[in-house]
Structures are given as C-alpha cells and as structure tokens.
Amino acid sequence: MDEVLILSRIQFAVTVVYHFLFVPLTIGLVILVAVMETRFAKTGDRMYRKMADFWGKLFTINFVLGVITGITMEFQFGTNWSEYSKYMGDIFGSPLAIEALLAFFLESTFFGIWLFGKDKISPKLRAFSMWMVALGTNISALWIITANGFMQNPVGYVIRDGRAELESFTALITNPYAWHMFFHTVISCYIVGSFFVMAVSAYHLLRKNETPFFKKSFKYGLIMAVFAATATPFIGHQSGVFATKIQPAKGAALEAVWETQEKMPFHIVQFPDAENEKNSIEGLSIPRIGSFLYTNSFDGKVTGLKDIPADERPNVPLVFYSFRIMVALGIFFLLASWFGVYLYRKNKLENSRRYLKMMLYSVLLPYVAINVGWIVAEAGRQPWAVYGLMKTAEGVSPISLSQIIFSLGSLVLFYTILLVADVYLLMKFARKGPGTELATGTEGGVKHVS
Amino acid sequence: MSHDTLAIIWFGLWGLIWTVYFILDGYSLGTGMLFPFIAKNRQERNQIQEAIGPFWGGNEVWLITAGGATFAAFPAVYADMFSFLYTPLFLVLIALFLRAAGLEFMHKDDNPTWQAACKWAFTIGSFLISLLFGVTFANLYRGLLIGKEGYEGNLLSLLNPYGLLGGLLFVALFLLSGSLWIQLKTAGDTAKRAAKLSRPIAGVAAALLALFFLATANRTPLTDNYADYPILWIVPFIALLAMLAAVRFVFRKKIGLAFTAVCITIFAKMAFGFIGMFPNMLPSKIDNAYSINLFDAAGSKLNLTIMFAVAVIFVPIVLGYQLWSYRIFKDKILKESAKGYQ
Ligand code: HEM
C-alpha cells in the first residue's frame, strides 16, 4: 500500500502541475484578448483586430490543453482518492459540479462562438463572447478554490455516519481562506498572462518587427502586470497572516521558525536544518520585521515548530525554500514592471535592449512562482489532506500497484507529448508574428484557405 | 421533499446527464471516427472540422458535468465507480486527450507526418471513447464483480462478449449519428460520402440494437424491473421503433428526421438501462447484497437540495446559450469557404 500511496501522490502532483502550466495563461491572456476585442468593437481600428487575432491564436493553442488536463482532475479524486471522496464528497463534490455547470459550459460554448463565429457575428458580439470566456475561467477558479479552501480550513460541516456532511452552504462559499487564495491565485495568473505578452512582444521589438503592433501589445501587458505585481505582495502577505492563524504549522514552516517567540526578527539569509530542528545559518537580520510579517504587529507572537507535534509538521525545507523563491520572484515582477512603466513613459522602451532581453528571458518565471506557490499551500498543509480532519494517507484508493504504474506512466508520457507540441506551436506562432489575416496554400493541387 | 425522494430525483438527473452526453457527443464522436474516410483533402478536412468545431467542447462538458454530479450527489458511487473501473477510465482519459489535441492541432503545422498523426489521434481517440463507454455501461447492466472485499474484476473481465456487444452498439449508433450530422452540416462531396456510408451503418446499428436487447434479456438481471412493471417495456420498444424509423428515414433521405430518430434511440436505450438498474447504481454480479444502491450512496439532504436548485436555475440558462450557438452556426459549411481549426 505504501508504494501505491507514494505513487498516487506523485501522480496527483504531476497532473495538477501540468494542469496549472496551461490554466494560468488561459486566465491571464483571456482578459487581454477580450480587451483587444472590445477596443476593436469600439474604434473599428484594424490594429486591434490584428492584435486580437494574433494573441487569440496563442490563447487558442493553450486553451485546449487546459481543458484536456482538467478532465483528468475531475475524475482523479474518484480513481485515486476514493476513500477521500467517500469521506468528503458531500462537501467537495458540489463545488466541482457547480464549476462544470456555471463555468465550463460558459467557457466552451462562447469559445466556440468566438473562434468560429468570426464572420458570422458582429465585433460587439465577438467581444462579448470573449468576456464570457473570461468570466467562465474566473468562475471556474473560484469554485475549484472553494473546494480547496475547505481542505485548508474546513467550515460548514458536521461529521455524521462516518463522513463529513454539509451543514452550511453559506459557510462553505464564504470561507475566508478560500477568498484569500482566490484573489492571490487569480491575480498571480494575470502576472503569467501579462509577462507572456510582454515577452513575446519583446522578442519582436528586439528584431524591430512590427514595432507599433508590439509596442501597443507590450503596453497592454504592462498595464496588467503593474496592477497584478503591485497587488500581489499585499495579498500574499494577508494570505500568510491568515494562513498562520488557521494552520500554525504551515505558518511556522514559511520562515522556518523553530522556537515560539515574540518580537521576531526577519533573516534575509537563512538555511533551515530540519534534522536538528534549527537554522544552521541566520544572517542579515532585521529586528521585529518577522513578527510584523506574521501578525501585522511588531510585537506579535509566532508559534514555533517545536511546539507542534513532529507528526503534524510539513516538510519544512520544501515549504521554506518554495516560499522564499515565490517572494523573491514577486519582488522581481514588481520591480520589472514598474521599470517598464518608467521606460515606456520616457519613450525608451523599444531601444532598451537589455530590458527587453530580460523580459524575454523572464517568460517562465511566473510559471515557477505559481507552482512554488501551490507547493507552499499544499505541501504546507501536509500531513493533512483536509486540515485537522483527514490525513492524506487515509484518502488513497485501494488500487493495485500495477494500475497506478500504468496510469502514472501513460499520463507522464502523453502529457509530455502534449506539452512539447504546445510549446512548439506557441513558439512557432509567436515568432511568426501577426502577418496576413488568412494564409492560403495548396495541397495536392487543391487550394485551401487556411 | 423527503431525503429518499430527492435521492430518486437525483438518480433520474444522473441518468439524464449521462444520456444527454451520449446523445450530443455521439455525433461529434461519430464524426471523428468517420473523418479520414470522408475528408479527402485539406478543404474537406476543414469542412468536417468546422461541422463540429463550435460544439464538441460543449458536448464534452456534459461528461465533466456527469463526473461532477456523480461526485456531488452520490459520493460513494463516484468513489467506487471510478476506482473499480480504474484502467478503462484512464484509457478513456487518454482517448479524450487524443481526440481533442488531434482535432485542434491538425492544421497548425504543414508537416505531413504531424497531420497524419493528428488525424489518426482524432479518429482513434473518438473510437476508443465510444467503445469504452459502451463496454462500461453494458457491464453496469450485467453487474460488476463486486464482492465482499470490494472489486474483484479487471479490464479483461469487462471485455466479456456482452460488454463488447455494448461497445460495438455505441460505436455503430455514434457512427450513424455522425454520418447524419455531416450531411446536415456540410454540402458537397463530404455529404455525399457520408450518405453512402449511412445506409450500411444504419442496418448494422439496427441489428446490433436488436441483438443487444436479446442478450440483455437473456444474460443480465436488468429486465427484472420490467417483469415487475410490464408497462415499462414500452421504453425498449420505443428504442427499437425509433431505430427502425431511423433506418427508413436514412433510405428515404430525410436526414433531419433520421438524426432525430437516432437521438431518440440513444435516449430510450439509456433510459432502458437506468430503469433496469434502479435502485442500484453499481450492481454486483456476485450478490445483490454487495450492490451499491442510490439510497446508500446519496449525499446529505441539504447538499441534494442545493444541487437541485442550482440545476433547476442553471441548466435552462446553459441550454439557452447552447441553442443560440446552434442558431449562429446553422448554415451548411461549404468546401470553398471552410476554415476549420487554423
Ligand atoms: C510577493 C510576495 C508574496 C507573498 C508574501 C506570497 C504569499 C503567499 C502565501 C503565504 C501563500 C500560502 C497561502 C496558503 O497556503 O494559505 C501563497 C500561495 C501562493 N502564491 Fe504567493 N506570495 C507572493 C508572491 C507570489 C507571486 C509573485 C506568485 C505568482 C506569480 C504567487 C503565487 C501563489 C500561488 C499560485 C499560491 C497558491 C494558492 C494560494 O495558496 O493562494 N505568489 N503565497
């Protein structure tokens, strides 16, 4: 059973990370494409049509993979976490069903209308369709995070007949933990989308290709990035303060706090040593800031890991380093986007080759940040699947080792093929630039329009 | 409403969601299976892609909704159904990847190997989804090998002759549905080729359906409920009648009516199965005591009530905008102007 548990956890990690490679770009990019469509509908300026088509194409390639990898998520709780599903299903199932009903239908139907309705509906309706897709993706995030929020902070339930049953739907959907996560997650997806647009634009600006087009695109990305990267540290900070109240073990692991203390300093340089329950190095300390970051008060008391039973602590170095990386990247995104505003204002953007190069090579960093963010949230909650109610090990399905090896092996294989195909197509079309609206070609002597 | 009444209503909705999924995705899966045999060049491929392009994603969401609704309304069925049927479900998931990526990525590169790979991924993916779901539901009718210690079967025990018959029946019905859809949505050579294929497929589907009903009556406990309430026999009767009507309409080139008749056939065939299973959701072949029935599996009263309210409000909204999208794309797709997935 142990191997099954470990492999099931690996499989969950693999499928959820793959899913969250595609979804954040969908959530971020859809808003920018919708804005471009709206600008076109309002002004009739062909430039916006071209922009919506070019970025919409990249959106389209990415969108389908978010859908594909999402289906696995919908069924995986049943296949691999059947005991969890039986125990939690009365509460966990309804957000998933509502997500499908409210979000997935909206997304897929209006995406179809937008993609194929180009010549059949007015620009206004096209813009409307894209906004409906955007609404769908955000509603989807809300409901799945409502489900996850329950795992982080169970509310509105009673234990009856050996399972958790819903007692208050209102409590479930107003769970403050979920709302913290929702804003932090969705806004971090806007960072992914905006940095993607800026990176592709930088690539072309560096080559002096279609400069007005990509300058404008860069500007759209930049506006979104400035907003999102400025909001993120505040929201993240509030998330941390709140998470620590609910899950002291996760909280303590964020900064690897071993001893309970007041007026805690913040160590810029720090290396945790989990075996000896201490930090091997603590350097560049700023007094009292630690307490402030944890409690919003310079005198606040922070619970240390030593006051938490060893079998209820998460993997401290994993959470600690993941958190550090996320915060460091958050600061980088903040500086990079405000510097971009400065350059844009001074009208120096297209000639700042170093900055543009930096933005081009930064395209993957937001992906790193969101994934280490989820490691903080999820690994930080271990050993619990549902905090305080059910341990992860208790939730696994009674399946055989050969079954999990088969599923994990084939998922890794197919997901990797899909990822390679996706990256190949994204790079190909991103490099090609906007070009003419409809390419024609011939195949076997027959002319075709696409 | 009592908890039991709510649970029964949800059993009905559960069956309905699966049924709607099979009716709707039936035509997109059938179109996918026929794709290489009907589209002979890029323009024709574009035509067929566009015939299902705006709709198939929404059709697939019915499957996701079926998963979510099972989870929400019958958590124990969700947990056992998908962990018992572990390997076939993962094969379905892979088939779903293949279909979606194959369809949407096919023309995004001009390399012939890429295009051929995508084409066959689309077709084989569509085939496997149809076959495996048919096999799965036939095995639900027959009863799964659920014993004292849980599930005792495996992939091979599902591939018994009756299960395979159920799989082939789905394949045939979906092929028929797809061939009619292509005629409804496209004009020119694609429609002509589809029309030629419709006839033999209709005959085979009708034969398989009759055989399937015979086998069900002889090989499964599904007809027990029918013995208790003979009036219910009207449901399989409707299925056969609609099937025969479909065959007739196919030969008389009444394509819209034939398509409708196929949808009714699928509906009645699924209803026949769910009525027979009632009140079991995962019947055991070993001993009915191990079967999982809807009353044991149902979620709490509050949960079922809320989900019911959500469904009553939002399903009509969803149907509304989906119908709107069918209206936007009501014209036939011509070879000259088809763009497909670019
Ligand atoms: C800049 C300062 C940042 C702070 C203080 C911060 C803080 C946090 C905290 C405390 C959590 C764990 C919350 C929990 O488990 O309840 C978290 C999770 C997360 N972070 Fe950050 N974060 C920051 C930046 C970023 C950035 C730049 C990104 C991505 C672009 C990001 C993406 C995420 C994601 C996706 C999660 C998981 C979802 C969640 O728990 O909200 N974070 N963050």
Which H, E and C letters describe A74-88, residue by residue? HHHHHHHCHHHHHHH
Provide the number of structural domains found in chain A: 1
Specify the DSSP class assigned to residue A394: G
Confidence at residue B334, expressed as pLDDT on a 0 to 100 scale: 85
Mutating to test ligand 1, I would choose from A150, A151, A188, A323 the residue with most ligand atoms within 8 A of its C-beta, which is: A188
Is residue B32 within 8 Å of B178, Cβ to Cβ?
A: yes
- Smallest Cβ–Cβ distance between A100 and the set B53, B61, B83 belongs to B61
Interface of B with A in 129-168 (CB under 8 A): 150
Amino acid at A402: S
CA distance A95 to chain B (A): 8
Domain range enclosing A350: 2-260+303-435
Confidence at residue B146, expressed as pLDDT on a 0 to 100 scale: 87
In chain B, what residues touch A407 (CB-CB under 8 Å)?
Answer: 86-87, 90
Question: Which 3 state secondary structure label does DSSP give A380?
Answer: coil
> What ipTM is given for this predicted complex?
0.92
> If you take atom 37 of ligand 1, which residue's CA is the nearest one?
A374
In chain B, what residues touch A131 (CB-CB under 8 Å)?
Answer: none
Is residue B202 within 8 Å of B176, Cβ to Cβ?
A: yes
* pLDDT above 90: percentage of residues in chain B: 69
Inter-chain contact A116–B306, Cβ cutoff 8 Å? no
Confidence at residue A130, expressed as pLDDT on a 0 to 100 scale: 95
> A283 Cβ partners below 8 Å, 6+ apart?
A267, A268, A269, A270
- Decide if A295 is inside a domain: no
Confidence at residue A394, expressed as pLDDT on a 0 to 100 scale: 82
Cα Rg for chain A, rounded, in angstroms?
Answer: 24
Instruction: Encode burial over A251-274: b for 16+ CB neighbours within 10 A, e otherwise.
Output: bbbbbbbbebeeebebbeebebeb
> B120 Cβ partners below 8 Å, 6+ apart?
B36, B102
Structure tokens of A232? 């993120």
In chain A, what residues touch B132 (CB-CB under 8 Å)?
Answer: none
Burial class of residue A45 (count of CB atoms within 10 Å of its CB; 0-12, 13-18, 19+): exposed
A243 lines ligand 1 (CB under 6 A): yes
* pTM for the whole structure: 0.91
- Decide if A284 is inside a domain: no
pLDDT average, residue stretch B198-225:
92
- Decide if A272 is inside a domain: no
Query: φ and ψ at B109, to 5 degrees?
Result: -145, 145
Confidence at residue A448, expressed as pLDDT on a 0 to 100 scale: 53
- Give B278 or A265, the one with higher predicted confidence: B278
Give residue for tokens 């409920």.
B225
- Decide if A443 is inside a domain: no
pLDDT in tens, chain A (450 residues): 588 888 988 999 999 999 999 999 999 999 999 999 999 999 988 899 999 999 999 999 999 999 889 888 888 988 888 888 888 888 888 888 899 889 999 999 999 999 998 888 899 999 999 999 999 999 999 999 999 999 999 998 888 888 888 888 999 899 999 999 999 999 999 999 999 999 999 999 999 888 889 999 999 999 999 999 999 999 999 999 888 888 888 988 888 778 888 887 787 888 887 787 777 777 787 777 777 777 878 788 878 878 888 888 898 889 999 999 999 999 999 999 999 999 999 888 888 999 999 999 999 999 999 999 999 999 889 888 888 878 888 888 888 888 889 999 999 999 999 999 999 999 999 998 887 544 444 554 455 554
Name the band, by pLDDT with cuts 50, 70 and 90, for residue B144.
confident
Inter-chain contact B75–A446, Cβ cutoff 8 Å? no
Structure tokens of B311? 């469904």
Residues A37, A165: Cα–Cα separation, whole Å: 45
Tell me the pLDDT of chain B averaged across its residues. 92
Confidence at residue A438, expressed as pLDDT on a 0 to 100 scale: 47
Contact status of B251 with chain A (Cβ, < 8 Å): no
Residues B182, B170: Cα–Cα separation, whole Å: 18
Confidence at residue A1, expressed as pLDDT on a 0 to 100 scale: 52
Residues A246, A257: Cα–Cα separation, whole Å: 16
Is residue A348 within 8 Å of A356, Cβ to Cβ?
A: no
Side-chain-facing half-sphere of B91: CA atoms under 13 Å? 16
In chain B, what residues touch A110 (CB-CB under 8 Å)?
Answer: 321
Inter-chain contact B101–A92, Cβ cutoff 8 Å? no
